[in-house]
Amino acid sequence: MDIKEIKKDGLVKEFKITIKNSHIEKSIESKIKELTPKANLPGFRPGKVPFSILKARFGKQVFSEVANESINEASKKIIDDYKINAASQPNIEVKKIEHGEDIIAEFKVEVIPNFKVPDLSKLKLIKEVAIIDNKQVDEAIQRISDENTKTEKV
């Protein structure tokens, strides 16, 4: 598994994930070997189905399962290794996925920025006080009164 950081500017980080075909094939073989004792196909005794037949029959399903697990494992490794504090759900875009070839994917995630909280004890606050005289109060009351007068038909 090869992980390269493509972009690390700003709040978005991007990575390129390359999962080698050899790793995928080993995982597929181990999964199929786990299935062998439980396999029950017509024409074979339970647990005695040949490996090649299981691989031919279930290879695509096991490949997709292994590919999904490998990409999830790579994304967890990125988050752990690069100590990413994600602000949103990561976006994983698979660029190339074919049986017998390397899997290539892009991992994009928005991160929460690191910032330092300033010492608030040194901050000085000034309380502003508005001075209102009686004339301004009377004018405000008169204006509100004029706006709310009742009209009558003549």
The torsion angles phi and psi of 90, rounded to 5 degrees, stand at: -65, 150
Residue 151 has pLDDT above 80, yes or no: no
What's the pLDDT at 150? 78
φ/ψ bin of 83: left (φ > 0), alpha (ψ from -120 to 50), beta (otherwise): left
pLDDT tens digit string along 34-90?
A: 988 988 889 899 888 998 999 999 999 999 999 999 999 999 999 999 999 999 999
Q: Quick one: how far is CA 114 from the chain centroid?
A: 18
The whole model's pTM is what? 0.70
Both tokens assigned to 124: 């000085």
